[in-house]
Structure 1
Amino acid sequence: MNPIEPEIYGIPPDLTIQHGVRIYALSVIFAIVAIFQWVFVGYLSDWSKHRMPPVRYGYWLVGSFFGISVLSCTALGRKFPCNIFLIAIIVESSTLYIAVEQQNTRGILVNIYACLIVISVVVASIIYGAYFPMRLVPGDLLLSVLVALGNIMLLVFFLNAYIFESPSVFIVVRNYFAFVAVTMIMYTATIIHDRQFYVPKNEYLFLSVLLFFGHMILHERILALSLKEANRVDCNAFI
């Protein structure tokens, strides 16, 4: 008797498209969709006149992590069309969030440089996780510790957003999650390249979303650094 195959939407592993290529290709498609919407929202609309509360960053993280967890860990989340619906929500919410962040850095060159820097960091993280010695690559223990600390950091973030309102706390929390994003991309690369543990080849959608989500977290940090540098230059111009 053959075991019952799980009802998971995906291309069977015996087709010509390789497992890793499928995951990376989907991540690139998600990024291209995001870029087109950033151009449309960022340059054809002006949200900078609206006061956007900093707490939206925390809700974006919590909602996206919850969606990815449902997509990867529940039977309903892995089935078609629920998985496609979840992916669309995660990609679209992340895209719109970054589009709003780009209202503060509307210069074309700034956004091009930000995209290039983030893509370089993501590609370097993937190469590190795929080819560097495993003793130097993030494993289960490190990722578990980072996720546990991430829950504490989110709690601190929301307490600060509603009670203390310290800009320094926001910076620390966002930098921490940028570090988690790099680690998560490295760890995902080890799974894709069968270095960590075996994942069924039809379980590829959530890995693509993980890569995309890590990309978005890093993009947010680069945009914030670009804004900080631009403000510093503007201040020095008046000295």
Structure 2
Amino acid sequence: MPRFGGANFRTNEPEVYGEPPVQRISHAARIYGLSVILAMIALTQWVIISLTDVMIHDRSEERYGWWLLCTFFGVATLSWTKLGRKVPFNYIIIGAIVESSTIYIAMEQKHSANKLVNVYAGVVVVALMLASIFWGAYFPMFIVPGDLVLSILVAIANIMMIIFFINALFIDYQGIYYAVRNIFALVAVCMVMYTATIIHDRQFDVPKNEYLFLSVLQFFSYMILHERILAIAYHSTRTISC
């Protein structure tokens, strides 16, 4: 439409009709929601398995190492490879991570002397997860694990994984098993805190559009902590019974 003086409006300006669409589900809700869904899937299967008479083999320390190694490889494939990001490969990897972790923890739960211990373990781990998320989301950043701390912990975790298999194959010293489990529990807590900084816009140089990866990372951290609490409860009840 011509203006006064014969000039026209610029034709390269974008045409906007109404307000831009509002995203119904926020980024944080997507991540936390999917994490809760994955945890509920695991919880449902744990209840079903606990009510059955499935025969479980004797407790094996090597099984923890293989579960940890394979699950970490699945998470790395999901986050760092192009193939792991594509459909349907990403859903297949997520399903494998959830099911393998669910079955492994269910096998650990079967060794508990009291089923009430499993309930207490679940409550403790959920509280620990919520506290870690709150810490990473709202505490001052100078006391929240950053890139350097997380990188050091991941490097130490990789070294501890190698030490774990050396110990399992040649040494079989129980103290090393405890040390490895405790290190990975510490890494899991720091990972949840670091993930919360990404979700709540406290890490400006980290992309947060990978909500599938972040959800699975939270689920994996939850499984590591759940296994650690179950292991402590198992050894505690075993000591009392002896």
Q: Tell me how far apart the structure 1 counterparts of residues 53 and 196 of structure 2 sit (CA, whole Å).
A: 36
Greater C-alpha radius of gyration: 2
Relative to the length of structure 1, the TM-score reads 0.89
Alignment check: 8 A CA contact 1:138 1:186 kept:
yes
1:42 is the counterpart of 2:15 = no
Relative to the length of structure 2, the TM-score reads 0.87
Cα drift, residue 117 of structure 1: 0.3
Q: 1:130 aligns with which of 137, 143, 161?
A: 137
Q: 1:1-239, aligned counterparts within 5 Å?
A: 15-48=23-56, 50-105=57-112, 107-200=114-207, 202-235=209-242
Q: Tell me how far apart the structure 2 counterparts of residues 180 and 204 of structure 1 sit (CA, whole Å).
A: 20
Report Cα offsets for 1:196-220 as digits up to 9, x if no partner.
Answer: 1355554100000010000000000
Alignment check: 8 A CA contact 1:178 1:217 kept:
yes
Q: Give the residue type in structure 2 aligned to 1:37.
A: Q
Gaps of 5+ in 2: 1-20
Q: Tell me how far apart the structure 2 counterparts of residues 150 and 14 of structure 1 sit (CA, whole Å).
A: 41
Cα RMSD after superposing both structures: 1.5
- Residue of structure 2 in register with 1:3 after alignment: none
Which structure is richer in relative contact order (CA contacts within 8 A, separation 6 or more)?
A: 1
Q: Secondary structure at the match of 1:44?
A: coil
Aligned sequence identity (%) = 55
Alignment check: 8 A CA contact 1:30 1:91 kept:
yes
Gaps of 5+ in 1: 1-12
Cα drift, residue 106 of structure 1: 5.3
Count of residue pairs brought into register by the alignment: 222
Q: Tell me how far apart the structure 1 counterparts of residues 22 and 143 of structure 2 sit (CA, whole Å).
A: 32
Q: Give the residue type in structure 1 aligned to 2:127.
A: S
Q: Tell me how far apart the structure 2 counterparts of residues 170 and 127 of structure 1 sit (CA, whole Å).
A: 30
Alignment check: 8 A CA contact 1:191 1:198 kept:
no
